């Protein structure tokens, strides 16, 4: 058990039969009445985000999430196959469960798979990934002074807004939290 006063971003808890990750929290002490903790939680099974308020000092169950290092192998119809690097055990995750993460996954890429007891919850991506531009309009000389951007499609099919100087074949570093361009690799 853990007190809601000890909440921190990234903590996983068990509330109302669901497994939740604390995305944001705020301790509130109103002038009148008891203190409380307002939190923003993401359900690790469904991906739904919910705001929940707890009384100060309330206890919740902490969920023990294990991260297993696995390699993304290939797509198999409407599921995707991952292999454990140590035991060579393979697991399949449905496309619907990792729809957002697929925008950044390349074959043979290593990722963390979140496990709760024997249940697979999803894929935890690194903060940034390196992807190659497959399609973009050529930059016109003199366009860089305005600081504008143009759309570029990378090898996974993700469309990213990039500066004019980026060309096809360039390797880019992409932020996985919001899908934005960081820099050239």
> Could you tell me which residues are beta bridge partners of residue 72?
82
The reply to whether CATH 2.40.50.140 applies to domain 128-184 is yes
Span between the terminal Cα atoms of the chain, in Å? 44
Residue 73 CA to residue 48 CA, distance in Å, equals 27
Q: How buried is 23 (Cβ within 10 angstroms: 0-12 exposed, 13-18 middle, 19+ buried)?
A: middle
pLDDT at residue 83, as a whole number: 93
The fold for domain 65-124 equals OB fold (Dihydrolipoamide Acetyltransferase, E2P) (2.40.50)
Q: Which of 4-8, 24-28, 131-135, 154-158 bottoms out in mean pLDDT, i.e. has the lowest?
A: 4-8
Q: In this prediction, what percent of the chain has a pLDDT beyond 90?
A: 31
> Could you tell me which residues are beta bridge partners of residue 175?
128
Residue 153 CA to residue 33 CA, distance in Å, equals 53
> H or E element: which one contains 72?
strand 66-76
pLDDT surpasses 60 at 17: yes
pLDDT at residue 148, as a whole number: 76
Count how many Cα atoms sit within 13 Å of the Cα of residue 134 in the half-sphere of its side chain.
8
Domain ranges within the chain, ordered by starting residue? 2-62, 65-124, 128-184
Give the number of other CB atoms < 10 A from CB of residue 131.
Answer: 22
- State the CATH architecture for 2-62: Roll (2.30)
For residue range 45-74, list pLDDT tens digits in order: 877 889 999 998 899 999 888 888 999 999
For residue range 39-52, list pLDDT tens digits in order: 999 888 877 889 99
What's the token pair of residue 33? 């009445």
User: Is the Cβ–Cβ distance between 107 and 113 less than 8 Å?
Assistant: no
Contacts of 33 (CB under 8 A, 6+ apart): none
- Radius of gyration from C-alpha coordinates of the chain: 21
pLDDT surpasses 60 at 143: no
Handedness of CA 114, 76, 110, 96 (dihedral sign): negative
Mean confidence (pLDDT) of the chain? 87
Same fold, 65-124 and 128-184: yes
pLDDT at residue 150, as a whole number: 87
For residue range 97-114, list pLDDT tens digits in order: 888 888 899 989 999 998
pLDDT surpasses 60 at 145: no
- CA distances 27 to 4, 16, 174, 182, Å, are 9, 21, 33, 33
């Amino acid at each position: 058990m853990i007190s809601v006063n000890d909440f921190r971003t990234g903590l996983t808890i068990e509330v109302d039969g669901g497994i939740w990750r604390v995305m944001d929290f705020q301790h509130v002490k109103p002038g009148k009445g008891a203190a409380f903790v307002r939190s923003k939680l993401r359900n690790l099974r469904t991906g739904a985000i919910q705001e929940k308020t707890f009384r100060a000092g309330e206890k919740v169950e902490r969920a023990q999430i294990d991260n297993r290092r696995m390699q993304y192998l290939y797509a198999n119809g409407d599921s995707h196959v991952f292999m454990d690097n140590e035991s060579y055990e393979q697991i399949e995750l449905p496309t619907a469960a990792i729809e957002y993460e697929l925008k950044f996954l390349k074959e043979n890429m290593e990722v963390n798979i979140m496990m709760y007891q024997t249940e697979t919850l999803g894929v935890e991506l690194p903060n940034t990934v390196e992807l190659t531009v497959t399609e973009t309009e050529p930059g016109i000389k003199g366009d860089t002074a305005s600081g504008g951007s143009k759309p570029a499609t990378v090898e996974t099919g993700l469309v990213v807004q990039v500066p004019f100087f980026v060309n096809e074949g360039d390797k880019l570093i992409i932020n996985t939290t919001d899908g934005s361009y960081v820099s050239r690799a």
